[in-house]
Structure 1
Amino acid sequence: MKRRARRGGRRLATVLATLLILIGLPAGIARGHAFLERSDPAANAVVPQVPGEVRMWFTEPLEAAYSRAELFDAQGQRIETEPSHVGTDPKELVLPLPPDLPRGTYTVQWRNVSAADGHPQVGFFSFTVGTVADVQVPAPPPPLPVGFAPTWLDALGRWFGLLGLTGLLGALVCWRWVIRPSLEPLEPDRRERVAAAVRALSLAGLALASIGSLVGLGVQAWNAEGQFSLAGIWGLLSGSRFGLLWSLRVALLLALGGLLARHSAWHEPPSGRRVWLCLGLGLAAALAYSSMSHAAAQPAGRPAAVAADWLHLVAASVWVGGLLALLAGLILVRRGEIERWREVYALAIPRFSTLAIASVAILTLTGLYSAWLQVGNLEALRSTGYGRALLVKLALVLVLLELGAINLLVTGPRMRRSVDAPRHFGYTVLAEAVLGIAVLLVVGVLTSLPPARDTLAASSGRASFHFAEGEVHASLQVSPGAVGFNRYTVDLALAGQDVPEGTQVLLRVTPPGNLEGVREIELARQASTSGQQARFEASGSELSVVGAWELELIVRRPNAADWRVSVPLEVAQAPPTERQPGPPPRFAGLTAAAAVAGLGMAIMLLTVGLRRRDPQGNGRFLAELGAGLALVCAVALLVSRLDQTPGVAARNPIPATPESIAAGQELFVANCAVCHGASGRGDGPAAASLDWPQINMDLTAHLYQHTDGDLYWWIREGKAGTPMPGFKNQLADEEIWHLVNYLRTLDRRSAP
């Protein structure tokens, strides 16, 4: 039996090592989450005159103190400008331009830190002043004289923090509702030893959470400033959203740890006030974690997304932390008569199984919603680092579920009659605990990676192809891959050898259908690339019509035969976006957040009620109460679901200048005030004649819940099921965007 156990342990260790290696493979430099969504001028645009400023919009709000942009000429030399600044939109970065810029191509290099989850990001794009004849292939801007913390350090800090919180919450919940009520068969000194072991676990969790928080603070300061310094840490703590939430989280953890460190918390009969105070501190600390997660960066429906993430974290802490508490309190300290321990286990397994079943149900629902928010489709799951890490997490969880089912369905029922059952229970709990720790490690990696949905969005504005034949490996990117001006980039690598000087890269483009005129584009080698990898670039307007073009990539090396490969490219009027996931369901306001939390409570009541068998009928009452609460919360979520249109992701191309807002106000008075009223509160002269509630026409009550793209779509097409007509025959697109800019100035009486 021992030999089989050792073999099983070795197999488990091998599986875990393999999975962790797979997780660690993509780890390199940390990458952020505030991706560049669009810019004005757009990337690769040709503008006839020098714009007054370059405006950049990102996918998340920015930390103003740590976000900036600089301008470079085609030779890579920095041009002095006024300092960049965050605009009126917290997602907008503005770089003023000198009015006397000569004609030519310029590069904007930007760097930001997300105010939502604290991750950094860098990038650059180019535009040209003048005509197409003035377009040059710009030299890449010099590397920023700063660096980012390694991904592995960020993931390690997050893992420590999650594991520590799990130990704290799991020890608290499992001690109060599983372990302590199951210790009746043991002598008092054995109970003392169990209490001491669980207390030690909670203190170890506090220490680990504190270390993880300190590592996370250092990583964030490093990423924000580009280097680690004490001054950077102080600036982060005193002047950023991250610093505020970090301080709150640490204060809550220390308060909870101080209560659990007291001897009386474990050795005296628990008072209801102390238990609920500890539980409240633990739940609040978990909420502080979730407030800095990917969920906090959602463009709409943020309260409900954060609530779902918080519920997911709490359920995982109860399940995995409970396993650690069982291991520390009932397995590792087991001494004395086996019969007494069998009785303890027979009492503890059903209790813990109830917690575990409820936790798994909550994890399933919240995990599916989180995957919908952060991933969205199979393409994102397969082709991004976030998606692959999520697959590894799911594989570990499936094994964990299998082991839990063995304890529930096999080991538990045999506990009172099988001599070997306690030993089997110990091995299974040990394996579950190790797998749970591995799952938390994967979660640490996930939270340090950009969501798959954002990764696809960042790459959707270009067509990409990858080729490998023989010793030649090449990647071709056509950006934006639409009719008009495009940039062609080829990254070339030769297996086991340098790319020799004199290598030429050509791109032949054949137009669709019966059109004639094959064009050959020679890509210039970038001086900054050498060795086994080289980059070649060119730009032009060869892709001039919509249709199926044929691209032929040719690599000519000295003293070697030409290497060729052909690929079709469907050129559309707009950049390709077919890989993009559809919009996920979102729920508005604090009511939706409360409904999500209520669903978690309903699942717990249902689970306890269905598993509780007593003649008084208390179990049935709890199950009915849980079912009723679940129904109420489901209705609340349906009512608070945000309407999303096909234009939900569209961004307003017109800046919200005073002139634009004034134009929008004139349009509002002429077309909208008759129903919505002069101030948008639904009290216009025609409102009384409409069979529609005034609160639904009060724009100030719910505009904050919708994106600019949604408002544009409803103004243009109308809103089905309401008296709202469409204005596409009365208003031009530009006028509708002016109107959207004005609507954003209306009072927000109930924004969360």
Structure 2
Amino acid sequence: MTVRRRHVTRGTTAAVPAAVPCATPPRARLVARLVAIVFLAAGGLVVGLLPGVAARPAYAHAYLLESTPVDGQVLSSPPAEVRLRFDEAVSLGRRSIQLLDPTGKELAIGAAEYADGKADTARASLPRDLAEGTYVVSWRVTSVDSHVVSGAFSFSVGHPSATAAPVEQDTGRVVPVVAAVGRAVAYLGVALALGGGVFVAGLWPGGRDDRRGRRVVWSGFAALAAGTAVVLLAQGPYADGRPLTAVFDPGLLGATLSTRLGHALLARLVLVVVLGVVFLIGVGRPSPVTGSEPADSETARAETTPAVPADSETTLPVTTLPVTTRAEPAGVARRTVLPAVAVVGAIAMTLTWTLADHAQSGAQIWLAVPATSLHLLAMVLWLGGLVTLAVCVLAPAGRRDPALLSLEPALPRFSRLALLCFTVIAVTGLYLSWRQVGTWGALGATGFGRLLLGKLAVVLGVLALASGARRFVHRRDRAGRAPRDLGAAVRRLRRSVAGEVVLGVVVVSITAVLVDTAPARTSYAPPVDTTVPFPAAVNASGPYGGLRGGSIQVKIEPARPGGNTADIYLTGRDGRLVPVPEISGALESRDRAVPALPVKVTAAEPGHYVAGSMSVPYPGEWALRLDIRVSDFDETRVRVPFTAH
């Protein structure tokens, strides 16, 4: 059957083939597949990215400022307690402080608690009958931005034992990866729920009657609830250093719910229910005209939809769009109260992230929280609307809408919203990058900086693809005229939107890993490279005479609390390395009254010596003391100052 329609602008006739039954899967199944692909891709990227970042040394926000006993201290009698003081408030768990004896066996000690009511100081009482030997204290706390921070130090009673107990700082990467995947799913879920909801209910006049957009939004609410529940259950084992099998431990769940993060996650679940009810009331039920249109109505639709010649510039008649009828709920509540509740709920939803992440630590918290909230909200509106648009563009309603006429009113509106969102993302992202990175050197030297550079590259790719979609919208929106080759333009739009969705998923995945990575500002310290002259008063003769007038170069990396490596070069006045009979070292604190900590120095090559296990207990001003013997009777002492950040 062929239907002939008179063209509106040119007065010619064009043959419109009768509709052919759609060979693609049913719309519900296709929408579900597209959404599932988005979530699986995000989860896979997180699993791939997180181990690579976590494999490198990470220094989170809460630093151990001092400990009692001091790392490496030798005591004449057992201490009564272990005390740890951090640079910020921390949350304690049931296993925040552990004590291991010289054989590696965990000993029973008092429960970790706050000392003197101070949230930045933890203590635990120790047994009074500790035998002689070296003991290891392992600690694990949660900082204010929900990062889990762990470390260990040792002390000896009487005399050091031959071997210290090994400490396993982590029970594995399964729990952190599960938590990161949960965060990625929650990020995508909030984007589809809020951004998709704005697109369906606010930008697309026919969106309330289209089941495709509604399915995307409801899948977002479901994913948001599921991802939040996963993070809530995984946080307890993550903070306590337990395996994944402990996710349903009531004690761990109760401990999580008593923290700032637990409060935020619980509030997020409540907001999912509230906003879901608002969306359900706001969009109502789809009308029978578009909500459940039979497949055999293609012919009738063809009679009301004009053909668009491929070789002509054509005016798109608005009057040919199908008219839908809805039973709109009456009253002012739908027009004012529901939007107000939705706006307040969306803002509160973003705060459940920003009040428990990087924005809560560091400088300018008063500005970081609103900036991070705006950054997240802009990302949510853009990505959620984009995925909803992509689903409707890639899975159109059969073949009866080849020119995307039903989406035409939403395209220019979403284009303007996306431009506004990207402006907000750029401005807030620039500030947040400066706040969390600090220096140019930290971009390439830290996992956080490298992830941030990767995210920037992906965002630039999104902008390049978005420019093509905007050209399509502008050409189509100008005087109501479509491009000459409308079919090719629509295909380009579909490819552009699909590419934006793929890159958007990459951005969300990188963001989920970034929030689990210590910011570069706190994890980066420039390596120490200091050269001091060799003492002129030393009587270096014979093969060591070249040291007179020479120098001592010391390189320390990473110059942070924890394990460090010091390379020591003894250079003669002729620039050559000069070996010495013996060299020993010790760490001395320049701003605290703590005993010197011995440092083992070994020869790597003649004139080059290495301290491969130099442990710096806490940040501050330190000095590496070197005792250099140049003969059987002559020895000199040199101090090389440095700062541990």
For Structure 1 versus Structure 2, the TM-score category normalised by the shorter chain is 0.5 to 0.7
Q: Could you say which residue in structure 2 is the equivalent of 1:243? A: 262
Aligned to 2:483: 417
| Change beyond 3 A, Cα 1:95–1:403 | same
| Residue aligning to 1:63 | 91
1:107–1:554 Cα change, 3 Å: closer
Query: Aligned residue for 1:112?
Result: 141
Structure with greater strand share of residues: 2
In 2 relative to 1, CA 385–109 (structure 1 residues): closer, same or farther, beyond 3 Å? same
Map Cα deviations across residues 163-196 of structure 1 (whole Å, 9 max, x no partner): 000001112222344222xx5xxxxxxx6653x2
Structure 1 residue 356 and structure 2 residue 418: aligned? yes
Letter in 1 for 2:212: A
- Give yes or no for contact 2:93–2:255 (8 Å, CA) kept in 1: no
C-alpha separation in 2, matches of 1:311 and 1:278: 16
Structure 2 SS opposite 1:143:
coil
Indicate conservation of the 8 Å contact 2:193/2:384, yes or no. Answer: yes
- Aligned counterparts of 2:584 and 2:368: Cα–Cα separation in 1: 49
Matched residue, 2:335: 271
Aligned CA distance change for structure 1 residues 353 and 38 (closer, same or farther; 3 Å)? same
CA 53–513 in structure 1, closer or farther in 2 if over 3 Å, else same: farther
Structure 2 residue corresponding to 1:374, chosen from 410, 414, 436:
436
Map of 1:175 onto structure 2? 200
1:255 aligns with 2:280: no
1:490-520 per-residue CA deviation (whole Å, 9 max, x = no partner) reads 9xxxxxxxxxxxxxxxx98648879998254
Q: Distance in 1 between matches of 2:118 and 2:572?
A: 42
* Corresponding residue for residue 682 of structure 1: none
CA drift of 1:246 comes to 1.2
Describe the shift of the 1:370–1:145 C-alpha distance in structure 2 as closer, same or farther (beyond 3 A). Answer: closer
2:52 corresponding residue in structure 1 = 26
The correspondence of residues 153-552 of structure 1 with structure 2, limited to 5 A, is 153-180=178-205, 183=206, 193-194=209-210, 196-225=211-240, 226-227=242-243, 228=246, 229-236=248-255, 238-262=257-281, 263-264=283-284, 268=328, 271-296=335-360, 298-329=361-392, 331-335=394-398, 341-342=404-405, 344-345=407-408, 347-410=409-472, 412-414=474-476, 416-418=482-484, 419=486, 420-456=488-524, 510=570, 518-520=580-582, 539-540=598-599, 551-552=608-609
Q: 1:163 to 1:16 in 2, by over 3 A?
A: closer
Deviates more, 1:442-451 or 1:327-336: 327-336
**1:35-54 superposed matches below 5 A:** 35-41=62-68, 44=71, 46=73, 53-54=81-82
Structure-2 separation of matches of 1:58 and 1:307: 27
Q: CA deviation at 1:63?
A: 1.5
1:666-689: CA deviations, max 9, x gaps? xxxxxxxxxxxxxxxxxxxxxxxx
Whole-angstrom distance in 2 between the partners of 1:437 and 1:374: 23
1:447 CA drift (Å)? 1.6
Secondary structure of 2:90's counterpart equals coil
What amino acid does structure 2 have at the position aligned with 1:304?
A: L
TM-score with structure 2 length normalisation?
Answer: 0.64
Structure-1 separation of matches of 2:162 and 2:568: 18
- 1:108 offset after TM fit, Å? 2.4
The alignment partner of 1:118 has SS state of coil
Once residues 166 and 111 of structure 1 are traced to their aligned partners in structure 2, the CA distance between those partners, rounded to angstroms, is 33
1:323 is paired with a residue of what secondary structure?
Answer: helix
Q: Per-residue displacement from partner, 1:196-234 (whole Å, max 9, x unpaired)?
A: 222211100001111101111121122134141331454
What corresponds to 2:122 in structure 1?
Answer: 93
Q: Is the 8 A contact 2:236 2:255 kept in 1?
A: yes
In structure 2, what is the Cα distance between the partners aligned to 1:540 and 1:332? 66
The one-letter code matched in structure 2 to 1:275 is P
User: Distance between the aligned counterparts of 2:390 and 2:492, measured in 1?
Assistant: 13
Q: Distance in 2 between matches of 1:104 and 1:511?
A: 40
> Larger RCO: Structure 1 or Structure 2 (Cα < 8 Å, ≥ 6 residues apart)?
2
Structure 2 counterpart of 1:252, one-letter code: L
User: Deviation per CA, 1:611-643, whole angstroms, max 9, x where unpaired?
Assistant: xxxxxxxxxxxxxxxxxxxxxxxxxxxxxxxxx
Question: Does 68-77 or 254-263 show the bigger shift?
Answer: 68-77
Q: Give 1:26 shift.
A: 0.8
Give the conservation status (yes or no) of the 8 Å contact 2:101–2:134.
yes
**Residues 100 and 107 of structure 2 are in contact (CA less than 8 Å); yes or no, is this contact kept in structure 1?**
yes
Match of 1:26, SS state, is helix
Letter in 1 for 2:178: L
Q: In 2, distance between residues paired with 1:481 and 1:448? A: 23
- Aligned equivalent of 2:13: none
User: Following TM superposition, by how much is the alpha carbon of 1:90 offset from its aligned partner in structure 2, in angstroms?
Assistant: 1.7
The CA deviation at 1:161 is 0.2
Q: Percent identity?
A: 27
User: Which is greater in Rg?
Assistant: 2
User: Structure 1 residues 106, 24: CA separation in 2 closer, same or farther (over 3 Å shift)?
Assistant: closer
Is 1:477–1:488's contact at 8 Å kept on the other side of the alignment? no
Instruction: Structure 1: state its 5+ residue gaps.
Output: 1-12, 184-190, 464-475, 491-506, 524-537, 544-548, 556-568, 581-752
CA distance change for structure 1 residues 197 and 79 in 2, over 3 Å: closer, same or farther?
closer
CA contact (8 A) 1:149 1:219 kept: no
Q: Distance in 2 between matches of 1:16 and 1:100?
A: 53
Q: Provide the rounded CA distance (Å) in 2 between the counterparts of 1:402 and 1:202.
A: 27
- The one-letter amino acid of 1:295's match is A
Inter-partner Cα distance in structure 2 for 1:230 and 1:406 = 51
* 8 Å CA contact 1:148, 1:223 repeated in 2: no
Q: 1:124 to 1:404 in 2, by over 3 A?
A: same
> What displacement does 1:66 show?
4.3
Distance of 1:99 and 1:230 partners within structure 2 = 32
User: How far apart, CA to CA, are the structure 1 residues paired with 2:346 and 2:483?
Assistant: 38
RMSD value, Cα: 4.5
1:213 partner letter:
T
Contact map agreement 1:105 1:135 (CA 8 A) in 2 = yes
- The 3 A distance-change label for structure 1 pair 108 and 509 is farther
| Cα displacement string for residues 434-454 of structure 1 (whole angstroms, at most 9, x for unaligned residues) | 211221111111122222233
Q: Is the 8 A contact 1:165 1:209 kept in 2?
A: yes
Contact 1:34–1:112 (Cα < 8 Å) also in 2: no
Say which SS state the counterpart of residue 122 (structure 2) adopts: strand
3-state SS, counterpart of residue 390 of structure 1: helix
Contact 1:460 1:576 in 2 (8 A): no
Query: Which residue of 2 is the match for residue 666 of structure 1?
Result: none
- Structure 2: stretches of 5+ with no match in the other structure: 1-37, 287-325, 531-553, 586-596, 613-625, 627-637
Given that residues 136 and 154 in structure 2 are in contact (C-alpha distance below 8 angstroms), is that contact kept between their aligned partners in structure 1?
yes
Q: Structure 1 residue 78: deviation in Å?
A: 5.3
Contact 1:170 1:321 in 2 (8 A): yes
Partner SS state of residue 97, structure 2: strand
CA contact (8 A) 2:65 2:86 kept: yes
Aligned-pair distance for 1:371?
1.7
Aligned twin of 2:642: 575
Secondary structure of the structure 1 residue equivalent to 2:139 = strand
Tell me, in whole angstroms, the C-alpha distance in 2 between the residues paired with 1:550 and 1:576. 25
- 164, 172, 175: which one aligns with 1:139: 164
